[in-house]
């Protein structure tokens, strides 16, 4: 697809209008990509998140990008993997759709996603990559306002998975 890209790197350094944070339900600075985004953005991001307070799995909320290059951070709460019988696939798909809907509502043209739920939340990487790619393709096929979606993979395993799946 000419509007979907995969890169390996640090999402906090990207020039996208919005980056997606793999957030926790309490929207607190955490570990992994969430901690990295909060550290790079500075304390203003945590203050904005604390005003929002909570976001359930499968949903997303938006804040400013604070000190990041990105104007916005979309905090998307993916599910914790519990074996696959607790609606994890549906919740992860919803997380991507909700993030894209928020982006469209703010007129965002470029958005970057991390690999939501595949770190400490334990979602199987290949399954998560397939869901992410399918949801993004389906959404942008019906919506021309988003011009560029970047899957920013921190680790080489996810990077190779996304490259393979995007080229199929």
Cα of 153 vs its chain's centroid, Å: 11
Question: Are 142 and 3 spatial neighbours (Cβ–Cβ below 8 Å)?
Answer: no
Angle between helices 156-166 and 125-142 (to 10 degrees): 50
The one-digit pLDDT tens for each residue of the chain (168 residues) are 589 999 999 999 999 999 999 999 999 998 899 999 999 999 999 999 999 999 999 999 999 999 999 999 999 999 999 999 999 999 999 999 999 999 999 999 999 999 999 999 999 999 999 999 999 999 999 999 999 999 999 999 999 999 999 998
Q: How much is the pLDDT for 112? A: 98
Cα of 82 vs its chain's centroid, Å: 20
Provide Rg for the chain, Cα atoms. Answer: 14
Statement: the pTM of the whole predicted model exceeds 0.75: yes
Calculated CA dihedral for residues 133, 63, 21, 58, nearest 10 degrees: -60
Q: How much is the pLDDT for 74? A: 98
Each domain of the chain, given as residue ranges in start order, spans: 4-166
Q: How much is the pLDDT for 1? A: 54
Q: Rounded CA gap, 84 and 22, in Å? A: 19
Strand 18-23 versus strand 110-113 pairing type: parallel
The partner residues of 21 in beta bridges, in order of sequence, read 75
Max Cα distance, the chain (Å): 42
Q: Give me the CATH topology for the region 4-166.
A: 3.40.220
Q: Rounded CA gap, 158 and 63, in Å? A: 26
Tokens of 125: 């990487």
Q: Rounded CA gap, 66 and 46, in Å? A: 10
3-state secondary structure of 6: strand
């Amino acid at each position: 697809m000419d509007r979907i890209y995969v890169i390996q790197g640090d999402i906090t350094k990207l020039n996208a209008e919005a980056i997606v944070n793999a957030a926790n339900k309490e929207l607190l600075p955490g570990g992994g990509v969430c901690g990295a985004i909060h550290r790079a953005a500075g304390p203003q991001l945590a203050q904005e998140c604390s005003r929002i307070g909570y976001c359930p799995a499968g949903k997303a909320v938006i804040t400013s990008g604070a000190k990041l290059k990105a104007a916005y951070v979309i905090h998307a709460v993916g599910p914790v993997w519990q074996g696959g019988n607790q609606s994890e696939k549906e919740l992860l798909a919803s997380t991507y759709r909700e993030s894209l809907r928020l982006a469209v509502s703010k007129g965002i043209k470029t958005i970057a996603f991390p690999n939501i739920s595949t770190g400490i939340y334990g979602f199987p990487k290949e399954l998560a990559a397939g869901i992410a790619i399918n949801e993004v393709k389906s959404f942008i096929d019906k919506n021309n306002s988003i011009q560029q979606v970047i899957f920013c993979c921190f680790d080489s395993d996810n990077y190779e998975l996304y490259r393979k799946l995007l080229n199929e």
